[in-house]
Each structure stands twice: as structure tokens, then as C-alpha cells.
Structure 1
Amino acid sequence: MQKSQRKGSWEDFLRLLIKKIEALGILVMRQGDLGHHSKPLSVDEFRGFAIFDEIAPVIFINQADVPSARLFTLIHELAHIWIGMSGVSDAAVQTDQKVEVLCNAIAAEFLVPAGEILGLWHEYDNWTDNLPTLKSHFHVSEWVLVRRALTLKLIEYTEYIRYINKLKQDYINRSKQESGGPTYYLTKKSQLSERFSRAIVAEALSGRVLLRDAGHILKMKPNNIVKFAKELGV
């Protein structure tokens, strides 16, 4: 992707990437629990997975993970599709699995090219002073930047762990303080592949698929399909 296409925050960049990936025919699914918030998917077990299929490849992102880590997970799983190999991955920095090492390297170079970050990095007394400039240049999250700094040996592993733990704690604290949240339909739109959702909703509205069956596929009540269609702009 051209640098000129990276605008706004890393969240904006993530949404742009998902749209472009889905435009290629790859479904991107996002879910953080097993149907209820009291049954979260374990981040320790996996951050995402990719199912390679020549007709309908799928990327799944564990939404239970901290938001800033999901950008790297998306490209890591996309790399699995690129090389034609399905995989369940935790995007760990230290791994001896050759495929995971390769996908980690592809994601890192795609998001934060080594030549660029090395040219922008300064030996400040506090290495974190580099982050504001790097965020505005690459439009990725601090999680991605700190991870890249570690793989390029710009920081020590202990510094990496300390900072990542801080990001996790900040996310937990923020979640506890925030009230309200996105609407049911906006949440559904973010969880399901928008391309997939549009196809199912369009078929249901045309009568080619029963509302009951569409509701079952989308995991919502049949009478909510019309409201969901408005959220999708169908």
C-alpha cells in the first residue's frame, strides 16, 4: 500500500485495510467471545487465524485482544493467505515455527519497513520519545511500533514487555471507565465480514433467502434483518 493512502489514526488505517482486503474476496471476521461477553475467546491461545481457500479465504481476528494489536494480527493472517497456508497464530515475537516467523516478518515489513524506521529512530534518553513521530509517519499503533523496535534490536526485550504490559493495563483501565458503547447493529457490522453480511442481507431482502435462514446465519433475530440492512447501507 502506498504511504499516501495512510491517513488519520491507526484505527482509520485498520478499517481501510479491511475494506481493501475484502475487496480482494477475502472475508475478515472479528469476534471476541463465544456469543456472550462472559465467555471471551482466550488471547493466550490465539490472536487470530487464517483459512486458505482458493474460493473463499477467511481471516479471523480475536476481538478480545487489545485493539492496538489487531492491526498486526490482520496483516499476519493476510500473510498466511498470501503464502497459501492456513494457520492459527498468536503473533508471538519469539517463535521457532518457520511459517509463523515468515508471517511475522511479512507483517512487520508491510506495516513498518525496516529502512524507514531506522532512518527515523533517534537515540533519545527515553526511547519512547520516538513514538509520536513514528505514529504520525506510519499510522500504526504503538503496539506495532514497539514490536518492530524489538525485532530490529532498537530496544531490549525487558523494555518491550514493560511497555506492552503498560498498554494492556491502559486498555483495561479505559474499558472500565467508558460507559455505553456502539449500537447492536454497528457491533454486528464490525464482527462480521461486511462483504459477507451485505450478500446475505441482499439475498434475504430479495426473497431468495428466508429471513429465518438469514437470521440464523448472521446470528440475529429475523425481524432485525431490515434494521441491519440500513446499517450496511443495503
Structure 2
Amino acid sequence: MAKSVKALVEPAVLAWARKTAKLTVEEVSTRIHVDEVRISGWEDPETDDAPTVRQLQRLAGIYKRPLAVLYLSEPPTEFQALRDFRRHPGSTDPTSPDLVYQIRRAQERRHIALDLLSIENETPSRLELQASLASDPENVGRDVRDLLNVDEQQVSSWRDAREAFNGWRRAIESKGVLVFQVSGIPVSQMRGFSVWEPELPIIAVNMQDAPNGRMFSLLHEFTHLMLREGGICDFEEDDRSPSQAVEVFCNAVAGAALLPSSDLLGDPVVVDHGRGPAWSDAELQDLSRRHRVSREVVLRRLLRFERTTPGFYRQTRQRFLQEYVRARESSTGFAPPSTLAVARLGKPFARLVLRSYRSERISLNAVSDYLGVRVKHLPKIEELVAAA
């Protein structure tokens, strides 16, 4: 009987599912309460041992894979891995299972969108704007604004940081980019990631980040797409090694797009301040509010144009980071499932799914599955995506 069961489950598939979930044999053993030797035996083609159906179900749950995948005859072709731009001293594999799952889910949704567009006989638009590390970040930032049709008047019309984030998101989505928001990942581990593809490239930002932080992530990752590469980012610049050149460039372009030099240097607060390197909190807050960017972006741009010193920048930025951590730790909030679904998936993706259902291309169960909500929430989602 053991051999017949083993024949239904390929050891290579079980090993692939565990490794791509970034779990060790020891971690799996702890979660399903099965001896490590047995789990290793399940992945060994030379042994006859195999998990029971119940154990397979539990494995599928912790590997975050459909049960049917574990019955495949061979490991499927995996979605592309992302370059990791983060620095984790002493760690050889810093990507957590939860982050791996979110990256995989984002790529799965892209494939769903491509399939639905094909069913509807539609061709996805392509992102044509390109950049290189040899480009001037200021010029690239202006190109980004021009492409997205965002100007100073548009920015000033946004009431606050949350509305500004949504405005930038809509502009980027209008260029054929899928913008997702992920949850359950600490901001310290990931603020954003991107996946470059010629059609429907992906940007994902962390919902646990503040709106201003997510806005910077959007433009940072959009720059990655213009460089025709994706990755997992944290945006730090303390390490000036060659591997960080891309991150430094993406930060510079994001800052230039969010706060152009003409807008900053022509602002009355900056003009009245003069050349002194020290800026008051009131001045920085005023510039942040007027230009709908974080105080850190203001600081970055002031440093870029030598209106402050590296020492003042580092000291003030560190204080802002401490304030940010305290604010995020004390923040609370609740949103209904329909609102969360649209926030996570974006209106273009949700509209595409609903349109395919209305044209009877997919079932109601598929809609519920693709949007990650119960059927009862679909009418509210339709209302949300219909809004401008």
C-alpha cells in the first residue's frame, strides 16, 4: 500500500513545494507535528514512505499551494525570482515565506489578467518609457511626470497624502502597470517590490507603510520598471557599493518626480529661508503639506540641491524615522472586505474580473476567488470600481 501511495505523490514535487515556500524540514516538522526524518523521506525518491491525504492537505496549507499541485507528476515551472536589493548582514536568505507567497500571488494575478484580456480579445498596453543608470535623475523625473500627466496643479488638488497616493497609483495604472498592495509583511522587511514584464509589469507596495511611504515606493518601483528590471527594495542608501547603485538612482528619480526642482526651489518657504543648512520642523512640515510628500522627501531634495548638510539630513531623518515607528505602532483602523479587496488589487484588475463575469466569460465562483472575497461583497466592489 505504501508504494501505491508513493506513486501518487512525487518526492520532487514535495521538495519543490517546500523549498519555494522558503521553509526548512525542521520548520515543516514543527508545524505539522511529524518527525523530520519522515518528512525528508517523503522527499527522497529512494524511500517508499509518503504522507497521508490529511498530511498532504496540511502541507498544501503551509506551502500555500492548491492541493492539486502536490499531485503533479513533476515540479511546475516557477514564476521568476526577483533580485533582492535589500541588505541583511549575516543572512544568506532573508526572504520570508510570507513575502515569497505575496510575490507569487502578484505574479499569479498578472497571469489571470493576461488570460482575461486574451478571452476579451484585448491587447495589454506596454510601458514604453525607458531609463538607464547613465540618465540624469532630474530629467527622468520630469519625463515620469510628463508621461503620467501629473503637474503642480494636479498635486495641489489632492487633499492629503492618502489621496495623493491614490492619484499617483491611478496615473501609473493607466499606463498598463498592475499596482497591488500587500499586507502581513513588516515594513522593515519590504516596502515594495516590482516585476518587469513587457506586458502588465507589476508594482507592489506594503499596506502597513504610511501613505507617504507607499507613494515614494510607487515611484521608486516605477523607476525599476523603466530600467527594465524588478526586485525587492528597502530604499536605504548607507551602503554605496556598486550593488546599491540602482537603488540610489531609483530613489533620486522618485524624489525628482514627486518634488521637481522648480517646485521646491521656487517655493516661498525655500526662497525666504535663504542658504542656511538648518530647517525648522515647521518649515519642513509646511513644504511637506504643500507638495503632498513626506518630510523625508523634502529633506532628500534639499540635500540634493545643497540647501542643507549631510549631517543635518541624517540627524533629522533619524528623528523622523523614530516618530514614524511610534505613529505606526499606535495606528489602528478597519476597512470592510470590499474596500480592502479594491485597495489590494487595484481598480483595473477588479474591473477586468467583473467585466469578464458580466460577459459570461468566467463563473461567479471564479470572480470570488480572483478578488479574494465572498460573493456577497461583489455588489459593493462594483460600486467602488465604478467610481472615478
Pairwise TM-score range, normalised by the shorter structure: 0.7 to 0.9
Instruction: Report the Cα distance in structure 1 between the residues aligned to 2:382 and 2:345, rounded to whole angstroms.
Output: 13
Aligned-pair CA distance for 1:151: 5.2
Determine whether 1:85 maps to 2:236: no
Determine whether 1:25 maps to 2:25: no
**Aligned residue in 2 for 1:37:** none
Change (3 A) 1:115 1:229: closer
**Aligned residue in 2 for 1:129:** 282
Determine whether 1:76 maps to 2:76: no
**Aligned residue in 2 for 1:193:** 346
Give the CA RMSD over aligned residues: 2.3
Aligned-pair CA distance for 1:204: 1.6
**Aligned residue in 2 for 1:15:** 166
Find the partner of 1:207 among 360, 371, 387.
Answer: 360
Instruction: Report the Cα distance in structure 2 between the residues aligned to 1:102 and 1:139, rounded to whole angstroms.
Output: 22
Does the Cα contact within 8 Å between 2:338 and 2:378 map onto a contact in 1? no
Q: What is the TM-score normalised by the length of structure 2?
A: 0.53
**Aligned residue in 2 for 1:166:** 323
Does the Cα contact within 8 Å between 1:68 and 1:143 map onto a contact in 2? no
Q: What is the TM-score normalised by the length of structure 1?
A: 0.84
Aligned-pair CA distance for 1:181: 2.7
**Aligned residue in 1 for 2:238:** 94
Aligned-pair CA distance for 1:208: 0.9
Instruction: Report the Cα distance in structure 2 between the residues aligned to 1:82 and 1:192, rounded to whole angstroms.
Output: 22
Point out the structure with max Rg over C-alpha: 2
Instruction: Report the Cα distance in structure 2 between the residues aligned to 1:160 and 1:73, rounded to whole angstroms.
Output: 17
CA deviations 1:30-81 (Å, max 9, x no partner) are 1222xxxxxxx02222210111111111100011223331111110011111
Unaligned residue ranges in structure 1 (runs of 5+): 34-40
Does the Cα contact within 8 Å between 2:192 and 2:206 map onto a contact in 1? yes
Number of matched residues?
A: 223
Change (3 A) 1:230 1:118: closer
Tell me which amino acid in the other structure corresponds to 2:319. Answer: R
Moved more, 99-108 or 122-131: 122-131
| Percent identity (aligned) | 25
Determine whether 1:5 maps to 2:5: no
Aligned-pair CA distance for 1:192: 0.8
Tell me which amino acid in the other structure corresponds to 1:172. Answer: E
Aligned-pair CA distance for 1:15: 1.1
CA deviations 1:170-202 (Å, max 9, x no partner) are 2322x15xxx63222112111112101110011
- List structure 1 segments (4+ residues) > 6 angstroms apart after TM superposition: none
Q: Secondary structure at the match of 2:179?
A: strand
Instruction: Report the Cα distance in structure 2 between the residues aligned to 1:232 and 1:135, rounded to whole angstroms.
Output: 30
Aligned-pair CA distance for 1:134: 0.8
Instruction: Report the Cα distance in structure 2 between the residues aligned to 1:221 and 1:135, rounded to whole angstroms.
Output: 40
Tell me which amino acid in the other structure corresponds to 1:233. Answer: A
Instruction: Report the Cα distance in structure 1 between the residues aligned to 2:305 and 2:321, rounded to whole angstroms.
Output: 16
Q: Which has the higher contact order (CA 8 A, sep 6+)?
A: 1
Does the Cα contact within 8 Å between 2:192 and 2:203 map onto a contact in 1? yes
**Aligned residue in 1 for 2:254:** 107
**Aligned residue in 2 for 1:38:** none
Instruction: Report the Cα distance in structure 2 between the residues aligned to 1:27 and 1:231, rounded to whole angstroms.
Output: 17
Unaligned residue ranges in structure 2 (runs of 5+): 1-149
Does the Cα contact within 8 Å between 2:237 and 2:247 map onto a contact in 1? no
Instruction: Report the Cα distance in structure 2 between the residues aligned to 1:148 and 1:165, rounded to whole angstroms.
Output: 20
Q: Secondary structure at the match of 2:236?
A: coil
Q: Secondary structure at the match of 1:92?
A: coil
Aligned-pair CA distance for 1:130: 1.2
CA deviations 1:145-176 (Å, max 9, x no partner) are 24444555623312211122112212322x15
**Aligned residue in 1 for 2:295:** 142
Instruction: Report the Cα distance in structure 2 between the residues aligned to 1:14 and 1:158, rounded to whole angstroms.
Output: 27
